[in-house]
Amino acid sequence: MKQLRGYNQNRENQIPDAVKDNPQFSNAMQKYGNLSEDALIGQLLEQIRAAQEQGTYNPAQMKQYVGMLSPYLSGAQREKLQNLVRVIERENG
């Protein structure tokens, strides 16, 4: 099971300063940086379901976030994320 631990060290030079300086990015790395991919996906689904229940889920915002993350993911991670987005869209469509 892959971990995101060490993500900052491995990708530090590839992340634009505008992203690194964003408090949401820093908070997310602190909160989720040590989770396995499966645990991270579980957290994402849990947050999406909670937002749906609260009426605050925004598919366009999710796509924007995915687009922002994609350049920093491996091909396999990007594919998993895109598959997850398709599943979420089907459930909401």
Span 1-60, pLDDT tens digits: 455 555 544 555 566 776 777 787 778 777 777 878 888 888 888 888 898 899 998 888
Helices (H), 2-92: 7-11, 17-20, 23-32, 37-54, 59-69, 75-92
Question: Does residue 72 register a pLDDT over 50?
Answer: yes
Residue 13 pLDDT? 53
Tell me, yes or no, if the pTM score tops 0.75.
no
Give the pLDDT of residue 56.
92
